Structure 1
Amino acid sequence: MRFHTRKWVKPEDLNPNGTLFGGKLLAWIDEELALYSIIQLENSRIVTKHMSEINFRSSAKQGDIIEIGIDVVKFGNTSIVLKCEVRNIMTWDTIITIDTITMVSLDDEGKPKSHGKTTIEFIRDRRNNFSS
């Protein structure tokens, strides 16, 4: 699992119980998945099609720092399937796991678009290819 983003849990992120609001966490996850997919598929028109069961395993409180991890499960013709884990780096507890998230590449009319990708690409490698 590659952990890409860290978030600091602030007062505005809390639920009435004083812990991280699940809706806020899901918004952070969805944004991170979209950004990751945009970079991998080289298309800014990406939508979330499906998320499998979401398993909340623990929480975080104000002041904690969490990090969002993403791995590629597979590349489809118009999609990329990811998995996600969020952990609290203050306690090392896993907060949430999502086994499969399907992100779809779209064309200018909002229809699924083939992306031609089959493996994970790193920006550093793309940059090196341009300088050759």
Structure 2
Amino acid sequence: MRFLSRRLVMPNDLNYANALFGGRALEWIDEEAAIYAICQLETNCLVTKHIGEISFESPATQGDIVEFGLVTKKVGRTSITVTCLVRNKASKKTICLADDIVFVRVDPLTRQPVEHGKTMEGLQSQIELEMKSLNVESGVTN
């Protein structure tokens, strides 16, 4: 799993118990997962079709830095399924895990599903090339 993004928990992100509001976490997850899927499929014509099980494990509080780990779980003909792990940057404690987030590529005019032409193997190769271009050790596992 690659941790690709971070956010600072601000006062307007908190619920009545002064912890990160679950709705805000879900908003961030959908956005981060969409960006990840857009980069993987190299198209921004995607829609969120499904978000599976969401498990909240520990709270985040004001001032915490949370990071988003994303991994491709499955690649379909028109879809990509990803998992997103949100954790506390400092403690590495899991805040939330969202599994089976499905995005579907759609035609920009008809909004109907269309093939994206990607495979799991192709995406893995793409990640390895990106890591080499950044001069970083891969260590990426699915």
Same fold (TM over 0.5): yes
CA distance in 2, matches of 1:124, 1:21: 37
- Structure 1 residue 115: Cα displacement: 0.3
CA distance in structure 2 between the partners assigned to 1:88 and 1:44 by the alignment: 29
Matched with 1:114 is: 115
C-alpha spacing 1:12/1:123, structure 2 compared with 1 (3 Å): farther
Say which SS state the counterpart of residue 31 (structure 1) adopts.
helix
Normalising to structure 1: TM-score of the pair?
A: 0.90
Q: How many residues align?
A: 126
| Equivalent residue number for residue 11 of structure 2 | 11
Matched AA of 2:112: K
- RMSD, matched Cα: 1.5
Same amino acid, percent of matched pairs: 48
Question: Which ranges of structure 2 fall in alignment gaps of 5 or more residues?
Answer: 134-142
Distance, in Å, in 2 between the alignment partners of 1:83 and 1:21 is 20
TM-score, normalised by the number of residues in structure 2: 0.84
Give the counterpart letter for 2:70 in structure 1: I
Note the C-alpha offset of 1:90.
Answer: 2.2
Q: Which runs of 5+ in 1 are unaligned?
A: none
- 2:71 is matched with which residue? 71
Match runs of 1:1-132 below 5 Å: 1-108=1-108, 109-119=110-120, 120=123, 121-122=126-127, 125=130
Greater alpha carbon shift after TM alignment, 74-83 vs 88-97: 88-97
